[in-house]
Chains A and B, each alone.
Chain A
Amino acid sequence: MKRREGLAKLTGREPYVDDLPFDGGLWGATVRSPLPRGRIREIRFGAGVDWSEMIVVDHRDVPGRNVIKLIVDDQPVLAAGEVRHVHEAVLLLAHPSRALLRRAVRAVEVVVDPLPPVLDYRRPPAREQIQHGDDNVFKRLAIDKGDVDAAFAAAAHVVEGIYQTGAQEHVYLEPQGMLAWLEGEGEREVVVVRGSMQCPYYVHEALCYALGRPAERVRVIQAPTGGGFGGKEEFPSGVAIHAALLALKARRPVKLVYERGEDMAATTKRHPSWVRHRTAFDAGGNLLAQDVEVVLDAGAYVTLSPVVLSRGVIHAAGPYRCPNVRIRGRAVLANFVPAGAFRGFGAPQTLFACERHMDRCARVLGLEPAELRRRNLLRDGDATATGQRIDDGTDREALLDRALKLAGWEAKRTAHRSWNAEQPFRRRGLGLATFFHGAGFTGAGEVYLASRAHVAGLADGRVEVRTAATEMGQGTITIFTQIAAARLGLEPEQVVIAEPDTARVPNSGPTVASRTAMIVGRLVEKACDDLRRRLGVGDAAPGAAVVEAIRAWHRQHPGEEPVGEGRYEPPPGIHWDEEHYRGDAYGTYGWAAYVAEVEVDLRTYVVTVIDFVAVQEVGKVLNETLARGQIQGGVVQAIGWALLEELKVEGGAMRNNQLTNYVIPTSEDVPPIRVAFVENPYPHGAQGAKGIGELPMDGPAPAIANAVADALGVDPCAIPLTPERLMALVEGEDEAPVAGAA
């Protein structure tokens, strides 16, 4: 099916939040903490601003709990006394003139008495740095399988390594933004927020909590969203509360749109990571034991770190058969902007370590990287680190072979040898990664979410799909149209996709975790089936019969509409033990093998990816154009993380918070991405689909680092592999430190 989104975007008519008219409204702005940690002594309102005409909101204006509701109630809506990171929101201002507002923000001085901050998450905190529990650890997780110590004692080879990844900024092209206004009076007054977001019901719940309002007095509507990548999963809740607080105080609409520099400095980042591997093999190159320690830099507040850590540790052992596994993970506090959701959600970090380590192991064992993986990849009947039995019929070795063949691995290896010998300054290399990505929420997450979707029959015979799933470029509207049309035997034009509006759509869960097509899409199918049942139309009846039955219903029940509902039920036979981290961590996994070819310039130490092959099994591909788009975009975002994107952090603040010096890939920095799918329908996903959006973030970084290792004979263990870091590595100096909150 051709994509339904896009026409308005091509003609400039798509109304992103900054484009929405708001007559008589005010612009909002945020005053932020200047220091990474301390107590607010005083807030000074400077000269040159008529403060009487400025709306000013602080923590005392929060009518409910001064908390941005998520997992743990630790992050304030507005700092009250204590600040824990630079750029933490302290005060809100609103005024009709944006120019005056900017001047006013500069005229406010937040005077903070400093306290000792944690600026490096890898160092154990001193007593005066403790801010959470007795050790600043937000979350600990453990996975245990078999007898690791006994396996190490009997090993033929033991290989160790430490791997690190840096923070990453999402750089969605549209910055964060919300428009808030009030409708109705007194007891019936409703706070309405429309803006850029992935998860309307997260925003709704957070607004109810902070504003102290019942659900029916808060309404959240998603505006067309200019990219998210996880950056608009939890962060928009705070922006929405801020806009709403200003609108409540001003009694007028308020629009709060971040400028790029503010967005980059003050919003969540991908968790930096430190991962240690110790791995035991038998003489035949078979894995005997994996001992893995994972540390994530969570930033100043808990946000989603427990679940990011969860996905991280579950993916840490890779897609391999290993009888004995010990994984210890912890997410720790640092006085930096909180880390949050970012495409891949912990898995890219631990899979970087795992796949880079596998190449190091191959070298120690004297095996080809592909051969070591071939010997150890999960086969049907094997179990993962959590003991989940994999039995889906996917041939993971064939996936690897397909990637090697597509990449021309053998021929290129040979060609590189002579090329590298002839070239004075340039070297080429090949690297691969085999990996997996759990689709949907981790563990019992989907059961707790208890998502619902509705499909309603409209008076004109069309149907309306009502979910909270948001479109932010990935093609949700097209996919849901496709799913509903196929299920009901309708043409695409007969399917309407409702705008995500909490006053109109049920809570189908957040648009995250690669769950939209697979899980919410399946709920849409169930809702279609339920609609048929309510209409008395059999499953095999053609679309014309469905349309006729909808029209007949409206004739017989004036003012009522037939609504089918789909509710989440876990696939049969899924068991997860949250306490011991044992069992079926995900309903299913996407599987992949990626190959990168790089060229390194020894004069500049610039690494260029010159070819990239991405082979994956993601169940049934529902729309190949959209699916390829997800893979290509994800791989390029991961190339940025691997090579270019480095946060420069000083005194706990991001100093390169501009697109001039935080560099993301341009069209000249990346090659065409060669994408191939192997299809193996997943029986519990919509039309056989598995999740796809995050998978392409996992494999590129280790494949690229492995290719650099191949090209230069060095052992890069930290990304981004910037020229500075690579030079230090080649010239035998210590690798430049990876930015945590340093």
Chain B
Amino acid sequence: MAPAQAMATMSEPQSITVTVNGERYQRAVEPRLLLSDFLRHELGLTGTHVGCEHGVCGACTVLLDGAAVRSCLIFAVQADGHEVTTVEGLAAGDGLHPLQEAFRREHALQCGFCTPGFLLTLVPFLEENPQPTEEEIRHALSGNLCRCTGYQNIVAAVKRAARERAEAP
């Protein structure tokens, strides 16, 4: 294929099917559309925030088949055939996910812009490590930036969520 033709093919919309928060979406997207832009602009799921556009701040973290990923670092086409969970899909029904509740109780957010990314980073972390130490928590959080809280209450919220999970029947 000549380079010009290759370019044309590369920019032609691709059909993808992605399950987001349990709902299946079929869309034709530009191959270079970021997953974060797909979620925000195509699906209107604006709870996924974009803080730095290059994978440092962690605000755009979502779950891809249960694993935390930075939605600004992957293309929407890479999510084709996969399941995505965003902050909007964290809680079942109108209530709060236990982690959201723990954040609320411990005042683990101020401006709230980074919060969805922290929550989605922590969901798989707590599943893999249900009783983390403070050091393990701080390590797990170190890929997400928060400028308001000083992290202390986020650590406290993770401890609370772990404690309540252990105490749950």
Which A residues lie at the B interface, using CB under 8 A?
Answer: 3, 5-16, 18-19, 21, 99, 170-175, 224-227, 229, 259-261, 472-475, 625-626, 629, 632-637, 658-660, 664, 666-668, 670, 672-673
Q: Is the CB of A227 within 8 A of B147?
A: yes
Q: Is the CB of A13 within 8 A of B49?
A: no
| Nearest residue, chain A, Cβ from B146 | A173
Q: Contacts of A172 on B, CB cut-off 8 Å?
A: 111, 113, 147
Q: Give B115-165 interface residues, CB cut-off 8 Å to A.
A: 115-116, 119, 137-139, 141-155
The contact sample of 8 A-B pairs, CB cut-off 8 A, is A9-B111, A11-B87, A18-B46, A174-B51, A229-B147, A626-B107, A658-B54, A666-B142
For B138, give its contact among A12, A664, A668 (CB under 8 Å).
A668
A473-B112 contact given A10-B96, A174-B49, CB 8 Å threshold: yes
Secondary structure type dominating chain A contacts: loop
Known A-B contacts: A6-B112, A10-B112, A659-B54. Give 19 more (CB < 8 A). A3-B104, A6-B103, A10-B103, A11-B96, A12-B87, A13-B47, A14-B112, A16-B113, A18-B40, A173-B51, A173-B147, A175-B51, A227-B111, A260-B53, A260-B54, A633-B147, A658-B52, A664-B147, A672-B155
Q: Contacts of A19 on B, CB cut-off 8 Å?
A: 40, 46
Q: Is the CB of A670 within 8 A of B151?
A: yes
For A11, give its contact among B48, B54, B100 (CB under 8 Å).
B100
B121 to chain A minimum Cβ distance, whole angstroms, is 11
Q: Is B50 an interface residue when CB atoms closer than 8 A count as contact?
A: yes
A347 to B51, CA, bound (A): 29
A173-B139 contact given A18-B50, A19-B46, CB 8 Å threshold: no
A418 to chain B minimum Cβ distance, whole angstroms, is 25
Q: Is the CB of B119 within 8 A of A10?
A: yes
| Residue of A15, A472, A475, A633 ringed by the most chain B CB atoms within 10 A | A633
Q: Contacts of A261 on B, CB cut-off 8 Å?
A: 53
Q: Is the CB of A629 within 8 A of B113?
A: no
Which B residues lie at the A interface, using CB under 8 A?
Answer: 30, 40, 44-54, 56-57, 59, 86-88, 90-91, 96, 100, 103-104, 107, 109-116, 119, 137-139, 141-155
A666-B145 contact given A173-B111, A659-B54, CB 8 Å threshold: yes
For A474, give its contact among B90, B110, B114, B137 (CB under 8 Å).
B110
A699 to chain B minimum Cβ distance, whole angstroms, is 14
Q: Is the CB of B153 within 8 A of A629?
A: yes
A474 to B53, CA, bound (A): 26
The 4 closest A-B pairs by CB, nearest first: A12-B47, A9-B112, A473-B110, A226-B113
For A632, give its contact among B54, B143, B145, B150 (CB under 8 Å).
B150
Q: Contacts of B146 on A, CB cut-off 8 Å?
A: 173
| Nearest residue, chain B, Cβ from A474 | B110
Q: Is the CB of A173 within 8 A of B53?
A: no
Q: Is the CB of A660 within 8 A of B56?
A: yes
A737 to B138, CA, bound (A): 33
Q: Is the CB of A473 within 8 A of B148?
A: yes
Q: Is the CB of B56 within 8 A of A667?
A: no
